[in-house]
Structure 1
Amino acid sequence: MSAESARSKRFFLLIGILVGLLSLLIVLPFLTWILVGVILAYALSPINNRLSKRFGAALSAGLSILIGLFLIVFPIVLILGVAANQARQLFAAFEPEDVSQLDDVIVERFGVQVDLATLEDAFSGVVRTGARGLAGNLFSIIGGLPELFIGFTVLFFVLFYLLKDGDQALAWARTVLPLEPEVREELFDETNLLIHNSLVGTAAVAAVQAVLLGGVFLALGLGNVIFWIVTTFVAAMIPLVGASIVWAPASIYLFVVGRPIPAIILLAFGALIISTVDNILRPIVMRRGTQLNPAITIIGIFGGIALFGFVGLFIGPIVLGMMKLIIDIWVREYPEPAPTQQQ
């Protein structure tokens, strides 16, 4: 390479870095909307692929978006709104007198003195924070209609063109990535499995468990069912503990307040049905691919919620899973050369 060519390459690289930084600053305000568009495009791609066989690419993308709005977006927004409202009602109706009465019941039944007021304050704070995280920036966005309009506009165009030209975008990415063909295809395939397991596998299992537990709560006459369904959905995505973090304390609460039959029913249903659903359904819907340590998954879930709101439930584990995948490929394909021994 000549000196002039090397100088030209360095200058071109400098321009690329500057433009890349400016592009990042432009994209960052709408990053959450863009990520939502990517997730929806992945979820709607099977429908779009079927429609594209009968209609053109643009028409099938538009029809897929309409189907997604009525089957995915609107129900999720409605459920989150109702859950947030029920969370406010739940803690607004929880008076200090209720704490003292429950304290008296525990002392009378078990002879144990528990400072439930302190526990209630701590628990309320945790759940309030979690409810705000689950709802994301929903209410703050609604408070600013211009931001909401711009965000939905960005979401619509990202979703539309991913559905319309997604295959072309993937083909372009394959041509520009400076990777060996085997490494590139492994990266694409494992990332696809990772997204599938997070969006379809984990979310589907969590949704089934949440709906089943919500039905039991409704049958037992427990209130704020939508709030507990959303809470169970989030809890069911957490490894190891899962939905038991909801139904086990609820069973204990029913037993303490003098409702042993509903407590036993809920405990049996959770232990026998909910756990069985997790053990049977998860291997069916999950595909082989990059497996995440439970600690990484938990960090991804809560870190994603803190950064992106409700959609971070899926984005967080995917990002950390991709990081693990990249490290694994790097260590395997590009090992450090062994140091030579000096004679």
Structure 2
Amino acid sequence: MKFSSNSSQQAIDAAIKIAVIAVLIYWCFSILRPFILLVAWGGIIATALYPVVIVIHNKTGLSKGKASGMLSLVGVLLLLIPLGALSSGLYTSASEVISGLQDGTLAIPKPRTALQDIPLVGDKLYSGLVFASSNIEGAMVKYAEEIKIYGAKMASIVGSVGGGFVQFIISTIIAGVFMSNAESCQVGIVKLAKRLTGESGEALVQLSKSTVRSVVQGVIGVAVIQSILSVIGLVIAGVPAAAFWALAVLLVAIIQLPPILALLPPIIFMFSGDSTVAAGLFLVWCILVSGSDAILKPMLLSRGSDIPMLVILLGALGGMAMSGIVGLFVGAVILSLTYKLLVAWLEAEPEEVK
């Protein structure tokens, strides 16, 4: 009877402790939920860039903390440039449109007849632009509902892009903090991994580091390079909204689709112009950009990567659906990392699994 009473008391005590721990975990999760994505992306950036910190430390003699801070500052400045250009461009364009409407000087040039050759939407787009070029006020009244709908969508996209840049800046600062304390962070993560998985914890941490760097270099790094190459061609060719199409190339490349899919509208625009030679050269450049991953990936994936394309695709699309542009990057890395850890766990010998 006494044994039964002690067992019941222990079960009650254990249930209370588990309940208290569960409440604390849920409470902490609710408090930190707005920052989880930013911290995760900061950790990914830190893991990918820490070898650069070591190189700077060895070459310049700077402490690892100062090298980390310098690298983080450079990253923030590089992100502030497009954010400032986007904000300035939006402000200038909006001011010019409002001023043009107020003083009656706003005019839309007559479109080229080649615009009609665009499949599905060519005729409607051409007729609408012709009407707007001759009677802009009437066109705004006639297409007020469409302008309102597409204007709201464009504002949402621009807001998402601007918010994404701000999130990237915050994550870059967080990455600088992680890199400055890399040794203590690694010790803590290894201790946690060993507590969860036993003696294989350190090996799993090393696998995680190599997987993150592999995905960042071989997937995101290649996508960034292709985006930069595409914007060079777009600017030289004089394609409007070059930054938008470069962003589209970045997103398409991350989800492992050919970047030329995002460049089809600019290619059609170039072939609707007067210069066939310029359009042909631009097409060749787009094909080279789209096929460059065949060269870039073997160069950047020095450790190799056997992560299936479907895993990266699902991670990128799911992350973007969940958390926007930043989720696109984080989702691809996190799902790839989870896949590699799952494969390592399945391949481990039964006695190694604690």
TM-score normalised by L of structure 2: 0.70
For the residue of structure 2 that corresponds to 1:114, the secondary structure is helix
1:134 matched to 2:161 = yes
AA of the residue aligned to 2:213? H
Aligned-residue offset at 1:21: 0.9
Partner of 2:134: none
1:282 matched to 2:294 = no
Partner of 2:22: 17
For the residue of structure 1 that corresponds to 2:255, the secondary structure is coil
Partner of 2:124: 115
- Tell me: CA distance 1:256–1:279, structure 2 relative to 1, closer, same or farther (3 Å): same
Partner of 2:319: 304
For the residue of structure 1 that corresponds to 2:335, the secondary structure is helix
Unaligned runs of 5+ in 2: 98-105, 129-142
- Pairing 1:1-343 to 2, within 5 Å after superposition: 3=7, 6-50=11-55, 59-70=63-74, 72-83=75-86, 86=89, 101-102=111-112, 104-107=113-116, 114-116=123-125, 129-136=156-163, 155=174, 158-159=177-178, 162-163=181-182, 165-177=184-196, 179-182=197-200, 184=201, 187-241=204-258, 243-271=259-287, 273-286=288-301, 287-289=303-305, 291-294=307-310, 296-325=311-340, 327-328=342-343
- Tell me: CA distance 1:293–1:66, structure 2 relative to 1, closer, same or farther (3 Å): same
TM-score normalised by L of structure 1: 0.72
Aligned-residue offset at 1:297: 2.9
| CA contact 1:254–1:262 (8 Å) conserved in 2 | yes
Aligned-residue offset at 1:289: 3.9
Aligned-residue offset at 1:305: 3.4
- Tell me: CA distance 1:216–1:251, structure 2 relative to 1, closer, same or farther (3 Å): same
CA distance in 2, matches of 1:197, 1:138: 23
Deviation sequence 1:251-292 (CA, Å, 0-9, x none): 221112333222101111222x21342111112212434513
CA distance in 2, matches of 1:228, 1:85: 18
CA distance in 1, matches of 2:255, 2:337: 18
AA of the residue aligned to 2:162? A
Partner of 1:145: none
CA distance in 1, matches of 2:67, 2:73: 10
Q: How many residues align?
A: 315
AA of the residue aligned to 1:313? L
AA of the residue aligned to 1:114? D
Identity of aligned residues (%): 19
The root-mean-square deviation of aligned C-alpha atoms, in Å, is 4.3
For the residue of structure 2 that corresponds to 1:61, the secondary structure is helix
For the residue of structure 2 that corresponds to 1:136, the secondary structure is helix
Unaligned runs of 5+ in 1: 142-147, 336-343
CA distance in 2, matches of 1:215, 1:47: 26
AA of the residue aligned to 2:23? L
For the residue of structure 2 that corresponds to 1:288, the secondary structure is coil
| CA contact 2:193–2:204 (8 Å) conserved in 1 | no
Aligned-residue offset at 1:164: 5.0
Aligned-residue offset at 1:86: 4.8
